[in-house]
Amino acid sequence: MLKTLPLLAMRGLHVFPHTSLFFDAGREESVAAVEWAAESEDKQLFLVAQRDPACEQPDKAALYDIGTLARVRQVLKLPDGHVRILAEGEARARLIQREKGDGYLAATIDVLEEQETPLSARGEALMRAIAAVMEQFVKKTNRVSAEAAGMLESELGPGAYVDVIAANLLVRFEDKQRILEEEGLESRMQALLGLLDRELEIALMEKEIQARVKKQLDKNQREYILREQIRVIRGELGEEGEGESDALRDKANALPLPQDVREQVMKEIAKLEGMPPGSHEATVSRNWLDWVLALPWLVTDDPPINLPRSRAILERDHFALEKVKERVLEYLAVRKLVGDSLKGPILCLVGPPGVGKTSISRAIAEAMGRKFVRMSLGGVRDEAEIRGHRRTYIGAVPGRILSSMRQVGVTNPVFLLDEIDKLSSDAHGDPASALLEVLDGEQNHAFADHYLDAAYDLSHVVFIATANSADSIPRALRDRMEMIECPGYTDEEKKQIARRHLIGREYARHGLARQQMSITPSALSALLDGYTRESGVRQLERQIATICRRAALRIAEGQQKVTVTGKNIEQFLDKPVYHRQEAAAAAVPGVVTGLAWTAAGGETLQVEALRLPGNGQLKLTGQMGDVMRESAMTAASLVRAIAGDYGAVWDGTKEDWHIHIPEGAVPKDGPSAGITMALAMLSALTGRKVQSGVAMTGELTLTGRVLAVGGIQEKVLAAARAGMTTVLLPRDNLRDLDKIPQNIKDKMTFVPVGLFGEVADRALEGGVQHG
């Protein structure tokens, strides 16, 4: 049936048949349409929804095709010009044509009348299903109004029942429009049942989620109430208030702690909350938490690897030390290829003092772009210095390893273990044994500090140890490190170091400009010849500092420029301390120059032997150690056995022998002076002097064999510094000459010997003179 009625376009609302709805109208055309309908005889109005609620002037395309024929029951004018309408839906209607009324919109509609007929079996089944779902929906959700629930309990026809449910469901606007547009009661019932099933499932899921949230909120609320009660109680007792534990929890949650450590921290915080703040236990717990939360956990400082830059840094700060530089560059190259999975190397730089072991460690850190931390081990004798004390002890703290990690703030620094050979042990334990775990790449990923009582990862740390002598490092510890020798410098290398680094550094320290002062090459040569005799450059640097201080005094007094040369160097450093040939054998029999290796590097020493009337005793002086004393006895026995071969007579019952090594205040030990002491005794026995400029080293056996010794490189450098021209060394040590700088080898003659007879023939004046 066609009708032409006023049209009211509704935004976001629906009025279903068999239902009533209050709503407001504000647009002029809408207000006029409502007023016209209210004044008409049948008071009818066509209500249809807009597709886009934001549209202010909707045309036919902007309106849905199906709307509702409604009757205006009440109109209330509002102060702002709007009207409030109570409309009752009567039937569905299709929009045929939009018309233009007198100041309002009108429409030609086709009223879709439905005849009430008995339901089919399918319709009855749908009706019962809707009723069952609706019952569950009303019980378990709040999405149906009390008014609608009451209407559902009254006697309604199937069509009215469906419309009332659809009108009162809190669902999407489009879903309601779809039900309104369904033609045929059974189709409408099918669409409503599907919508109800979906909404019920969603509602149940929401209810389950809300229950979980509520349970968690209840737990949090309970904890909050309990904490508030504890806070009030503590306040009444005059104790500190809450806040500390929350701050600790927040800090722990912000850190990338390993899971086992996080659980341990949270347990400790919970224990702390139940302790009186001023108790000893609370202080211990608080200190432990402070330490754990201050340590770096999974915090790295690892910039991209730039090999040319790293090489330039190493070359910039240090001259020589090529093996150390190459080893570091090799590690960086491999790490660049394999990534973060490569464990840090554990290096041990072995060499005399002053060669730059500590300073090159700093340069290594800079070359790698990592932070640097140094830990001195000299004199450490307690295992707790490494592993820490257990928390049960008063004043317990972590060991120095973790203290240094806290100080540096990252998990992958360059860590210098300085003077590792100076470790000692006592009743409190052996710190060298505690270092075994630290320096083992297979174990240090879970380093156990007694205080921390949790595994700490040290596998990303680059450990560098320094030592003056590898012999004093325990074998098990030495086995865990890659030993790299840092030999003493030659005079030429010292000159280069002085020119490139030391002189400029001392100028800056003393406020001198290069225009005000200069140190000539001849001055450096004189400085090395007469004022320093060392493997490193510390004494050289001190002497240059002395020159700079005295030059600064002259400049401050008005002198324009100071030039230091080899001729005037005594004006700045007084008389020379050393003389180039002082270590050469004196022009008397029984004096031989030997070569020794000490923790300070290579040294020359003069062995003196004197034959005295007596009763066959052997006297040894010069602070000889047990090994050296045994070597002297071996030498005496050998010389006594071969004396006749050299035309000499050894009368063991009427004469004594006295062997002395000068600088008696300095302890000496080792077997390498064996051939030196034997030659000194043979020289004194035969009255033949030792050739000038000859030095020697080698262990001696009772049968006269000369055995290999260590420290050849340092000993040869010491001989060169002392002006020696010939060095006798064991034949098995010839391979060690490859480590000697070529400029040293060019100036010296090296004589390999395998038997003591070869030593005597080459060193004594007059050559071979025995049968």
SS3 of residue 750 by DSSP: strand
**Token pair belonging to 200:** 């019920």
- Pairing outcome for strands 105-112 and 346-350: unpaired
Active site residues: 672, 715
Residues 26, 30, 34, 35, Cα dihedral to 10°:
80
**Token pair belonging to 137:** 């929906």
Residue 385 burial by Cβ neighbours in a 10 Å radius (0-12, 13-18, 19+): buried
Asked if 530 contacts 574 with a C-beta cutoff of 8 angstroms, the reply is: no
445-474 core/surface letters (b: 16 or more CB in 10 A; e: else): eebebbbbebebebbbbbbbbbbbbbeebb
**Token pair belonging to 295:** 């340590």
Q: Give 115-143 as a DSSP string.
A: ------HHHHHHHHHHHHHHHHHHHH-S-
Q: Which of 59, 61, 67 is nearest to 13 (CA)?
A: 67
Residues 6+ away with beta carbon under 8 Å from 652: 616, 640
CA angle 31/37/40 to nearest 5° reads 140
Q: Give 552-578 as a DSSP string.
A: HHHHHTT-S-EEE-TTTTHHHH-S-S-
Q: Which residue has the tokens 């064999």?
A: 705
Helices (H), 184-238: 185-237
Convert 331-390 into a string of H (helix), E (strand) and C (coil). Answer: HHHHHHHHHHHCCCCEEEEECCCCCCHHHHHHHHHHHHCCCEEEEECCCCCCCHHHHCCC
State in Å, rounded, how far the first CA of the chain is from the last one. Answer: 152
SS3 of residue 665 by DSSP: coil
Rounded Cα gap, residues 765 and 587, in angstroms? 11
**Token pair belonging to 678:** 């034997």
Rounded Cα gap, residues 386 and 388, in angstroms? 6
SS3 of residue 164 by DSSP: helix
Rounded Cα gap, residues 11 and 560, in angstroms? 98
Q: Which of 302, 718, 708 is nearest to 535 (CA)?
A: 718
Rounded Cα gap, residues 435 and 581, in angstroms? 46
Q: Which residue has the tokens 């480590």?
A: 739
Phi, psi dihedrals of residue 747, rounded to the nearest 5°: -95, -10
Taking the CB of residue 518, how many other CB atoms lie within 10 A of it? Answer: 16
Rounded Cα gap, residues 704 and 520, in angstroms? 50
Residue type, 276: P
Q: What residues form DSSP beta bridges with 659?
A: 609, 620
